[in-house]
């Protein structure tokens, strides 16, 4: 059975979650109250902005079919509607992201968003702070707010500001000290340059034949010490040393994101990950000797392989892995697909 | 959480973690209205509410048993109450016996408080005489008629009695039902013949306080503080609105602080899953409510799943002033699910103590020695555990305490000494007053 995409009228295959042509979310209910996401740049399919995220679809309650209340709980059975999906995978040309609840956490409080527009590839990974309430909402809200800016042509700092503002307003006026919170990590790959911005402890790595090079410094005492070349392990720091010193939320310290740029001269993979993967140092062994850029099936396989590794290693936390293929040459007019 | 500028905050205290398959969710909701000027609604867009029109009816028992020192003190207390009224408040003083009679003004209307009316009212109060019986329902019915003929928003009454109601339970209940929702009534027992159960009935129907004392000398100060509290109310008709999920049953909704008031039976359905529980008039104050919800066993969440057990909001008509969420999260970690929320535990214990005393005294009254001994024994045990030595002492007038820690008691033979009985009634009322836990 085929149905027409509600946005661009191209026929779609039953079971598709998104329109192949314009990227409209097909699972979203249509109608006056839920207008389909307007496809950015509609009318010029070749360079149209397309993005995907781990945000859960709107619509009736998964348990009882009831409508959702404004507070995120079902009006029928009271089931909490998680902001993000328990497991999600998305592939865009040269970009793949995977998120998974893991084995121990009750819900997935990580979120990703990936987007492609023109020659630009953008990735956002956010990790909900588990000690704060509704962290899944914070992470999903931040990721979506950021990717909308990045696929609209904005830079990483602008994406951070949009995400930060969107998360800050989630807090109820009753308890600002107990506000939804998350980390922020975003990267833009464009014109042979990689720009990474972050706040918190989600990390970006550059993977090439030489191994994994961390591009970010965690916003924690332990992270700062490690960046300064001090062996934090030998100091026998308390668990408090890993506590975040910066985050997004109504109660977050003010400031700009950390930014770093690089212009690799070789092909490789930009990897973004929540600490659900990097808490297992052996993860680098699962990358593959070639940086995972080929042979292992490209970035699509790499992201899935690393997610599976983190689950097998114990799955103690939510896992999110996003991988972007990098080629130092000028961006190809038809970028090769990550998945064969 | 508070709604923007309503001046009201609702906070939920609970252990949301439930063991696998569990369906019972308990929470304490603390509602605090405007610590600043004006109280409820003061910050809203509407006009300042500090001067919301108020009406007051003072009902004084003038039955035959009031003669002597009691009627003297009752006159003094009523006069002080009149003096405490704010200028402009509509008021009346009613003498209660086998019927209700206007003391001031003479006609069946409310007078407007001012220097002249206050002094005329006090003059009339001086002539109060004792004689006849006690028909409390008739007094309340007159108060109701007076309030209905007036447009005041804040309606408050004081009821003073020294005896037991002479009406049938049905007549009394019918009068209470007619008055419910129209005005708030604080009731007071004085002397040695009143019944705590009757005062509690008035309190629960009319959302007021109930108290009792042996010595009428304390009435004056008590009346003053009741009127002062009533004059501090700025808005009436506040309700606690409860949404519960499909298939859930509200086990109870109780005000648990400052006094225990069971509101469960006072629900008005708003829709299939939403009901309102009246809370009366509010000033700048804070109250605690204990909400207990039994979820549908067929819809219990899986491990790790989170559901809403209730949405609690504070409403005035349909305007939401504040709201809070009562949640349920199922877990297989016993360390989490077995934890008792301190506030919930505190008020659960306080409510059990209050009902053990009330049920024990009711059984004693009915001659059911076995139940009376069991319930009063439990009351002694609970009061001992929670350090309420004043309650234990009062209970020791009606039971012989053999072991306070195990609650082993023997019912004393009823004597002609009414003083013994009234101590038990005072204990029954006193145990309804709760203390708050210090924030931890």
DSSP sequence for B55-72: EEEEEEE-SGGGTTHHHH
- Percentage of residues of chain A with pLDDT beyond 70: 78
Q: Does B216 have pLDDT greater than 90?
A: no
Mean pLDDT of A101-124: 93
Of A243 and A45, the one with more pLDDT: A243
Question: DSSP for A198-212?
Answer: EESS-EEEEEETTEE
Interface of A with B (CB under 8 A): 63-64, 66, 69, 71, 73-80, 105-107, 172-175
pLDDT tens, A263-322?
999 999 999 999 999 999 999 988 875 554 554 468 999 999 999 999 999 999 999 999
pLDDT per position as a tens digit, B400-428: 999 999 999 998 887 766 777 788 888 88
pLDDT confidence of residue A240: 78
- Mean pLDDT across chain A, nearest whole number? 82
pLDDT the model gives residue A47: 64
Contacts 24+ apart (CB under 8 A), A148-154: A148/A51, A150/A115, A150/A120, A150/A122, A150/A124, A150/A186, A150/A188, A151/A40, A151/A49, A151/A50, A151/A51, A151/A115, A151/A116, A151/A117, A151/A120, A151/A122, A152/A40, A152/A49, A153/A117
Question: Helix (H, G, I), strand (E, B), or coil: what is residue A115?
Answer: strand
DSSP secondary structure string for all residues of A152-182: TT--HHHHHHHHHHHHHTTS-TT-GGG--EE
With beta carbons under 8 A apart, name residues in chain A contacting B1: 172-175
B299 touches chain A (CB under 8 A): yes
- Neighbour tally for B173: CB within 10 Å: 14
CB-CB under 8 Å, B331 with A74? no
A12-37: average pLDDT: 53
pLDDT at B28: 96
Min Cα separation B432/chain A (Å): 30
Note the pLDDT of residue B327.
93
pLDDT at A174 over 70: no
CA distance A310 to A287: 12
Rounded Cα distance, B209 and B260, in Å? 9
The answer to whether residues B246 and A76 touch, using CB atoms and an 8 Å cutoff, is yes
Dist. CA B9–CA B4, nearest whole Å: 10
Q: Does B337 touch chain A (CB under 8 A)?
A: no
3-state DSSP assignment of residue B190: strand
Whether residue B115 has pLDDT greater than 80: yes
Q: How far apart are the first and last CA of chain B?
A: 19
B250 touches chain A (CB under 8 A): no
A106–B305 CB contact, under 8 Å: yes
Residues of B in contact with A74 (CB under 8 A): 245, 307-308
Q: What is the pLDDT of residue A10?
A: 61
Between A198-212, A280-294, B89-103, B256-270, the lowest mean confidence (pLDDT) is in: A280-294
Q: List the structure tokens of A80.
A: 């909490």
What average pLDDT score do residues A48-77 get?
A: 87
Residue A210 pLDDT exceeds 90: no
pLDDT, tens digit (0-9, with 9 covering 90-100), for B342-382: 999 999 999 999 999 999 999 998 889 999 999 999 999 99
- Give B271-296 pLDDT, tens digit per residue: 989 999 999 999 999 999 999 999 99
Give the pLDDT confidence of B49-74 residue by residue, as tens digits: 456 799 999 999 999 989 888 899 99
For the stretch B194-210, pLDDT in tens is: 999 999 999 999 999 99
pLDDT band at B217 (very low <50, low <70, confident <90, very high): confident
Q: What pLDDT is recorded for position B301?
A: 83
Q: Which of B2, B309, B327 sits opposite A174 (nearest CB)?
A: B2
| B1 in contact with A, Cβ within 8 Å | yes
For B320, the enclosing helix (H) or strand (E) is strand B319-331
Across the range A126-139, mean pLDDT stands at: 89
Residue B40 pLDDT > 60: no
Q: Where residue B394 falls among pLDDT bands split at 50, 70, 90?
A: confident
The model's confidence at residue A107, banded by pLDDT at 50, 70 and 90, is confident
Work out whether strand B111-112 and strand B90-96 pair parallel, antiparallel, or are unpaired. Answer: antiparallel
User: Can you give the C-alpha Rg of chain B in angstroms?
Assistant: 23
Distance CA B228, CA B209 (A): 14
Give the mean pLDDT of B311-338: 91
Cα–Cα distance, B415 to B195 (Å, whole number): 17
**pLDDT for residue B116:** 96
Indicate the pTM of the whole model. 0.78
């Amino acid at each position: 059975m085929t149905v027409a995409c509600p946005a661009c009228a191209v026929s779609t295959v039953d079971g598709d979650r998104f329109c192949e042509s314009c990227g409209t979310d097909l699972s979203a209910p249509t109608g006056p109250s839920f207008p389909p996401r307007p496809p950015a740049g509609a009318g010029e399919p070749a360079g149209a902005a397309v993005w995907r995220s781990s945000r859960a679809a709107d619509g009736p309650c998964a348990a009882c079919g009831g409508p959702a209340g404004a507070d995120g709980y079902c009006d029928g059975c009271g089931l909490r509607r998680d902001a993000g999906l328990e497991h999600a995978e998305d592939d865009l040309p040269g970009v793949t992201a995977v998120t998974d609840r893991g084995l121990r956490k009750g819900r997935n409080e990580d979120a990703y968003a990936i987007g492609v527009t023109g020659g630009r590839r953008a990735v956002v990974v956010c990790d909900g702070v588990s000690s704060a309430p509704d962290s899944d909402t914070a992470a999903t809200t931040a990721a979506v707010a950021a990717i909308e800016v990045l696929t609209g042509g904005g830079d990483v700092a602008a994406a951070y500001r949009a995400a930060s503002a969107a998360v800050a307003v989630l807090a109820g006026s009753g308890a600002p000290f107990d506000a939804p919170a998350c980390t922020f990590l975003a990267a833009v790959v464009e014109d042979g340059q990689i720009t990474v911005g972050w706040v918190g402890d989600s990390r970006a790595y550059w993977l090439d034949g030489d191994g994994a090079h961390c591009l970010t410094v965690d916003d924690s005492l332990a992270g700062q010490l490690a960046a300064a070349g001090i062996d934090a392990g030998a100091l026998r720091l308390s668990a408090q040393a890993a506590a975040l010193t910066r985050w997004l939320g109504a109660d977050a310290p003010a400031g700009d994101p950390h930014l770093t740029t690089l212009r690799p001269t070789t092909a490789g993979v930009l990897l973004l990950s929540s600490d659900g993967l990097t808490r297992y140092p052996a993860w680098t062994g699962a990358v593959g000797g070639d940086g995972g850029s080929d042979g292992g099936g490209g970035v699509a396989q790499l992201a899935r392989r690393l997610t599976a590794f983190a689950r097998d290693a114990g799955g103690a936390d939510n896992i999110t892995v996003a991988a972007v293929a990098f080629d130092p040459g000028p961006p190809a007019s038809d970028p090769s697909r990550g998945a064969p | 959480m508070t709604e923007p500028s309503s001046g009201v905050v609702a906070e939920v205290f609970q252990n949301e973690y439930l063991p696998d398959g569990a369906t019972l969710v308990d929470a304490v909701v603390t509602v605090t209205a405007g610590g600043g000027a004006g109280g409820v609604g003061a910050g809203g867009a509407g006009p300042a509410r500090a001067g919301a029109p108020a009406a007051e009816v003072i009902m004084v028992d003038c039955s035959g048993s009031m003669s002597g020192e009691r009627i003297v003190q009752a006159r003094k207390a009523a006069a002080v109450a009149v003096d405490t009224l704010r200028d402009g408040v509509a008021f009346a003083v009613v003498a209660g016996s086998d019927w209700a009679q206007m003391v001031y003004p003479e006609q069946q209307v409310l007078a407007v408080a001012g220097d002249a009316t206050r002094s005329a009212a006090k003059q009339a109060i001086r002539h109060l005489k004792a004689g006849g019986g006690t028909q409390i329902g008739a007094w309340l019915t007159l108060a109701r008629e007076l309030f209905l003929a007036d447009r005041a928003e804040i309606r408050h009454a004081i009821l003073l009695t020294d005896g037991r109601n002479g009406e049938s339970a049905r007549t009394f209940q019918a009068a209470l039902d007619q008055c419910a929702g129209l005005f708030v009534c604080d009731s007071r027992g004085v002397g040695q013949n009143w019944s705590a159960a009757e005062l509690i009935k008035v309190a629960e129907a009319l959302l007021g306080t109930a108290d009792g004392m042996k010595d009428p000398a304390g009435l004056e100060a008590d009346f003053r503080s009741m009127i002062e509290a009533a004059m501090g109310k700025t808005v009436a008709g506040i309700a606690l609105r409860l949404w519960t999920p499909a298939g859930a049953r509200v086990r109870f909704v109780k005000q648990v602080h400052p006094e225990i008031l069971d509101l469960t039976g006072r629900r008005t359905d708003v829709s299939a899953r939403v009901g309102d529980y009246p809370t009366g008039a509010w000033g700048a104050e804070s109250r605690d409510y204990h909400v207990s919800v039994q979820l549908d066993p067929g819809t219990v969440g899986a491990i790790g799943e989170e559901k809403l057990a209730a949405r609690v909001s504070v409403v005035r008509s349909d305007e939401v002033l504040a709201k809070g969420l009562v949640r349920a999260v199922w877990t297989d970690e016993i360390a989490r699910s077995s934890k008792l929320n301190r506030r919930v535990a505190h008020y659960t214990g306080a409510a059990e103590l209050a009902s053990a005393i009330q049920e024990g005294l009711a059984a004693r009254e009915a001659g059911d020695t076995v139940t009376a001994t069991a319930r009063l024994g439990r009351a002694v045990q609970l009061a001992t555990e929670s350090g309420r030595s004043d309650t234990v002492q009062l209970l020791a007038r009606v039971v012989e305490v053999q072991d306070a820690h195990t609650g082993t008691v023997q019912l004393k033979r009823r004597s002609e000494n009414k003083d013994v009985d009234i101590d038990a009634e005072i204990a029954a009322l006193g145990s309804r007053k709760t203390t708050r836990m210090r924030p931890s």
